[in-house]
Amino acid sequence: MQSFSPPPRPAVRWQQDRLRDVAFTLSLQQTRRLTCNRRYIDANAMASLSSTLFAEFFGSDVRYVNTPEGAKEYHDHLTDRLHDDRRRVVPWLDSIRPLKG
């Protein structure tokens, strides 16, 4: 089995996401209240998740993951979907029915 190192995050996507995050944070007061309920994983757990995702989902296809499309898909699966849910879905759900930790 080949060794795996995660591909770098595409810079343009990261900048766009960061700007969207800043705008969202500034526009919603409820974000501060909701962020206290977030759970995070440590670096070791993230490394384990990353290698498992690579081995099981991408089938250890290093060539695909090193392409721009593969790197985007990898980061979408690893972290971006969670961030999108935290930015969009959770505040929407909270606006309909308050989320209380």
> Residue 74 class from Cβ within 10 Å (0-12 exposed, 13-18 middle, 19+ buried)?
buried
Residue carrying structure tokens 């089995």? 1
Q: Which amino acid makes up residue 7? A: P
Angle at 85 between CA 98 and CA 100, to 5 degrees: 20
**Would the pTM of this model clear 0.85, i.e. be above it?**
no
pLDDT digits (tens, 9 = 90+) for 16-55: 677 777 666 655 566 677 777 788 888 898 889 888 888 8
Q: Phi then psi for 41, rounded to 5 degrees?
A: -110, 150
DSSP single-letter state for residue 48: H
Q: Both tokens of residue 101?
A: 């930790």
